[in-house]
Chain A
Amino acid sequence: MDERLVTRGLVRAPFRRFLLWLVPWVALLGLGVYAAYLCLALGLNQTNMDNRFAFGLWIYLDLTVIALGAGAFFTGFLLYVMKRSELKAVINSAVVIGFICYSGAIGILAIDVGQPLRAWFTFWHPNVHSMLTEVTFCLTCYLTVLAIEYLPIVLKNRRLRTVPSMLVFEHELHRVMAVFALVGSFLSFFHQGSLGGLYGVLQGRPFAFRESLAAWPSTFFLFILSAAAVGPSFVLVTTWLVSKVAGRPLARPEVFRLLAKVSGSLLIVYVMLKSIDTLVWLNRTAPALGARPARFYAFDPFGSWVLFTEIVALGLVPALVLLSERARRDPRLLVGAAFLACCGIVLNRFVMTVQTLALPTLAFDPFLSYAPSWQEVASFLAVVAYGVILYSLSYRYLNLFPQERELAAQEA
């Protein structure tokens, strides 16, 4: 029914089946929008956050999706600046995922603040010392960049291409795409870092606080590195997932292997630097603030196993697997290791956001626990649903994977 919208030469599921696929996601989106409406209308008491857990599920997931969405900027950087042309196969998908991640994060942030109508105050009365100011500016700028990068993909749609002005516009954009990719990398570098800096500057929280290099705490650099490391892995995992759901190959194995190699190299560097940073933090930084590091891991279930899992099981191990050429040839090991690397970053963001707030600061503080309310979970699932819907529409009507057509021809 909608064949005229689908890119020429690509096979897509029947329209009705596509609609059926969308139905549960739309329902989930509806539920989440209702949850978000409750939070906006009735106030943030609809969540389980409180004065001690001022940041909850939303901030944690925001940091996580932004880290995972870093695949967008880093793949662009590798393609346009490092000239790794194999990545043309997945750059569109990466950009769409990045756009979803960032727009979703900003959507969640809009509900997370107590006074969303005052969101523009950060631009009007910015505090140059605050990491969050930097994050706000960079995120909004980068979302604009992503929108600009997304636009040509949309404009290449079969129907839209028939409009001459759109074609011209898309062509012009394409010529300057490298500039946008560079700007995007620059912005992304900063806000990935500032998100790490958000916690690294908290001198009141010895668990999160790190010493600074120049103006920035070490978590600034570690977050950038970890995001860059895990971005390609996430692109890999999502491409694999989409090809599984779609039932056809979407990119050549060399693309996956390149992504894995890049990810693995960055990940191993990250693991080394993170280990050094952890040692410095445990032995020097935290004790200088009067904290006893043993106390950080003295509360169930956040024992020291968390630290080892994050750095070794979900850091070193996948890094080594991704670096091994033999392992890269085995698709299961490849995807598995990439997935574990993503999990490592998910855990790292969790530790930095949730565990920081759970730990006591005063001598008579208890260790706190927090479980998100259904409104919080539903709002976030709405973002996931929005992402799936947007991605499904993009996959169906846009040429997200340039290699798909030839791979399909090869199979035939």
Chain B
Amino acid sequence: MEREKTEGAARYGMVVDLDRCNGCGTCSVACAVENNVPPAGERANARNGISWLRVQRVEAAGEARAAFVPMLCQQCGDKTPCASVCPQNAVELDPGSGIVAQVPVRCLGCRYCMAACPYHARSFNWWDPEWPGRLAETLNPEVSTRTRGVVEKCSFCSHRLQAARAALAAAGKGAALAAEYVPACVEACPAGAISFGNLDDPGSDVARLAQAPGSFRLLERLGTGSKVYYHTEREWVRRLADGRAAAGDGRNHG
């Protein structure tokens, strides 16, 4: 699926600093609050629960130290493994923002996209969603709730992008594609470990951090063109997260 470079388009991306992440899981819960992800029923577990953003602990056997890798949809580029395989076009790569959007109302629940995704970013609604007590009163009206039997995943809080674009338009700045906004996880991280912004904006923090030494993408060799970068200056963390040490990186911070 080729994408012509749309005028004024943004390419939103993220850099997660693994040296700052302390595994508190606040991002994961903030995402669930923002996006109306239902809490688990009794029978759910790590493999069939719904988590758009999941913090994964990585550690070497026998060693005390551990690092944490927040895993979310990597928002792949032109060669998204999931968009090309969906039989009814329920996955769309938005050329104006680079966000890979999931359309739950069109999803038929065949789960082909889930088999295709190497980052395990997608969750399926194995159960009907239920909010105990009156918890449904705290739901966010800007995100629709999903029914059972459809796939969902991180959308880089694209509803916040819509709101930011709408605010720009209302302020008379025309129909801008690239608006500044912050997804819920970025906003919530107490350690400030996640940077977010337009990768195509050379002045943005995220563009600079993405190219910094020690920054890498997961499964780079697959060529998915993912827009989530991870950063660490610790060799052992790089090896655990990426399966390989940084090429030519002589630094070793133990």
A interface with B by C-beta (< 8 Å): 43-45, 49-55, 112-115, 118-119, 121-122, 124-127, 129-133, 136, 198, 201-206, 288-290, 356-357, 361-365, 368
Contact = CB atoms under 8 A, between A and B. Distances in A.
Contact of B86 (A50, A53, A127): A127
A362 B47 contact: no
A51 B126 CA distance: 9
Given A45-B48, A114-B149, A202-B81, A55 B111 contact: yes
A364 B239 CA distance: 10
A113 B241 CA distance: 33
A288 B111 CA distance: 26
B109 A113 contact: yes
Contacts of A133: 87-88
Contact of B224 (A55, A198, A204, A364): A204
**Is the contact region of chain A dominated by helix, strand, or loop, or is it mixed?**
loop
A379 B108 CA distance: 20
B89 A125 contact: yes
Ordered nearest first, which 7 A-B pairs have the shortest CB separation? A114-B109, A114-B149, A290-B221, A204-B118, A363-B243, A54-B114, A54-B111
A236 B149 CA distance: 40
A95 to B, nearest CB: 28
Contacts of A51: 47-49, 114, 120, 122-124
B195 to A, nearest CB: 22
Contacts of A368: 47
A363 B47 contact: no
Contacts of A204: 81, 116-119, 219, 222, 224
A114 B151 CA distance: 9
Contacts of B48: 45, 49-51
Given A43-B148, A126-B87, A130-B85, A364 B241 contact: yes
Interface in B1-55: 1, 43, 45, 47-49
A118, A136, A198 — most chain B CB neighbours (10 Å):
A118
Contacts, number: 163
A203 to B, nearest CB: 6
B115 A43 contact: no
Contact of B107 (A115, A119, A363): A115
A198 B115 CA distance: 10
Contacts of A203: 79, 81, 222-224
B235 interface: no
Given A127-B86, A364-B69, A45 B127 contact: yes
Contacts of B1: 129
B126 A44 contact: yes
A201 B85 contact: yes
A12 B91 CA distance: 55
B162 interface: no
Given A115-B109, A132-B85, A204-B118, 20 more contacts: A43-B149, A44-B149, A45-B48, A49-B48, A51-B122, A54-B112, A54-B124, A114-B108, A114-B124, A114-B151, A119-B108, A121-B88, A125-B106, A129-B84, A130-B84, A130-B86, A203-B79, A204-B117, A205-B116, A363-B240
B73 to A, nearest CB: 13
A123 to B, nearest CB: 9
Contact of B88 (A52, A122, A289, A364): A122
B140 interface: no
B110 interface: yes
A54 B119 CA distance: 13
Contacts of A52: 47, 120
B226 to A, nearest CB: 11
B99 interface: no
26 contacts: A44-B149, A50-B126, A51-B114, A53-B47, A54-B112, A54-B124, A55-B111, A114-B108, A114-B148, A114-B149, A118-B106, A118-B108, A121-B106, A122-B108, A126-B89, A127-B87, A127-B89, A132-B86, A132-B87, A133-B87, A198-B112, A201-B85, A289-B221, A362-B218, A364-B69, A364-B240
A114 B124 CA distance: 9
Contacts of A206: 222
A288, A361, A363 — most chain B CB neighbours (10 Å):
A363
B20 to A, nearest CB: 19
Contacts of B150: 114-115
Contact of A364 (B56, B111, B149): B56
A125 B108 CA distance: 11
A227 B12 CA distance: 45
Contacts of A363: 218, 239-244
A112 B69 CA distance: 32
A198 B88 CA distance: 15
A45 B126 contact: yes
Contact of B87 (A50, A122, A365): A122
A50 B124 CA distance: 8
B58 interface: yes
A204 B122 CA distance: 13
Contacts of A119: 108
B125 interface: yes
B119 A362 contact: yes
Contact of B222 (A53, A115, A290): A290
